[in-house]
Amino acid sequence: MAERSWLELAADDPFGVHTLPYGVVETEAGRQPAVRIGEHVLPLRPACQALLAHRAGLFAAGSLDALLAAGPDVWAEVRGAVTSWLTDPAHRTTIEPLLLPLAGCRPVLPFTVADYVDFYASEHHAGNVGQIFRPGQPPLTPNWKHLPIGYHGRAGTVVVSGTPVRRPNGQRKVGDAIGFGPSLRLDIEAEVGFVVGAGADRPVPVADFAQHVFGVVLVNDWSARDIQAWEYVPLGPFLGKSFATSVSAWITPLVALIDARVPAVPRDPKPLPYLDDAGSEWNLDLALEVRLNGELISRPPYSSMYWTPAQMLAHLTVNGATLRTGDLYASGTVSGPEPDQRGSLLELSWGGAEPLTLADDATRTFLLDGDEVTITATAPGPDGSRIGIAEVTGRILPAG
């Protein structure tokens, strides 16, 4: 039976003791690393000073960087202690006075983003994009099923959920003319991100994935499709992607997702040995939901992804690229086989040819100024429960 907290939480609260995501909040006392429990926040430094003194130094700074770097044995120790504090009534008199209301705290980016890599791991998304842009040709490029395709993004423009996103300016091709101005085809990409804790100076085998990845966030990799289309040949995404990438304020520890592990999808051809994950698959049964101005427009299933996060990490490091604490890599757009499971407006509107009709009869092909996009997700937890992956949200501001 799943553990229960002495806090008065609903039995189906997605942020109960089986979740316990980590974040950093701005309070009157400054920036404090914390754990979320229901609609409360537990600052970790004072809690550790009272009950786990030798780990209090991990939370002395206003980020999770020291905890991420400490490695999986320390992650397990801290999570075990926090779980005990919130479930054992003997700790209530110490912990309860430290709890803060979530609504009164302002979340900030909880870790220093060292590098950012975005992959292209959904066969359904890649196939849809191929059909849209290369009609009459094979939807997948010849290399797609041999390796996880990705590109290096811009770590400096990764922003925390709730940060407004300004419409980017850039070059775009309209007919035969080349113009400059605000993007007219601003899009979303519903993704799952993986936050690296323990670094490495050697290739990371797929079997070592959980020794290096601390946890999971949701990602919206905002995309200016018109800028992207003009610039990406021959070197790939650049200004059409680098203006903003939004991530959840709370990191769900990888260990909280053990019950969400599912077999990898069938692959043909068989991956090369360094990508062969037979017996150690890390596919995840995450149910994403995408809302535009509060209206549900898509339900992408992460379980349909072709390449797993363990394979992405193995490929990212196989050439000798170092892995650093705070590295963030994302899955690429999560899309399923059905029309209502597409994780981008590019797909939902089929390149703009089939506008999406909303409940108020308004239509969208791409985002308008003032639009707000929210991505949420849940996953299987212990004993049939569901755990939550903290949302990522952002509102579009006019171009500057």
Cβ-contact 332, 125 below 8 angstroms:
yes
In this prediction, residue 280 has a pLDDT band, given cuts at 50, 70 and 90, of confident
137-159 average pLDDT score: 97
For the question of residue 125 being annotated catalytic, the response is yes
| Model pLDDT for residues 149-190, shown as the tens digit of each residue | 999 999 999 999 999 999 999 999 988 999 999 999 999 999
The predicted pLDDT at position 2 comes to 58
Q: Is the dihedral of CA 349, 245, 362, 300 positive or negative?
A: positive
The predicted pLDDT at position 279 comes to 86
| Model pLDDT for residues 290-342, shown as the tens digit of each residue | 999 999 999 999 999 999 999 999 999 999 999 999 999 999 999 999 999 99
| Catalytic residue, candidates 125, 152, 212, 315 | 125
193-216 average pLDDT score: 98
Nearest alpha-carbon partner for 254 in 117, 86, 389:
389
User: Is pLDDT above 60 for 203?
Assistant: yes
User: Is pLDDT above 60 for 1?
Assistant: no
Percent of all residues in the chain with a pLDDT value above 70, rounded to a whole number: 100
212-227 average pLDDT score: 98
Average pLDDT, the chain: 97
96-115 average pLDDT score: 97
The predicted pLDDT at position 281 comes to 87
In this prediction, residue 83 has a pLDDT band, given cuts at 50, 70 and 90, of very high
| Model pLDDT for residues 11-30, shown as the tens digit of each residue | 899 999 999 999 999 998 89
Q: Is the dihedral of CA 197, 189, 382, 206 positive or negative?
A: negative
- How many CB atoms are located within 10 Å of the residue 73 CB? 10
Cβ-contact 146, 269 below 8 angstroms:
yes
Model pTM above 0.85? yes
What structural domains and CATH numbers belong to the chain?
A: 22-108 (2.30.30.230), 116-397 (3.90.850.10)
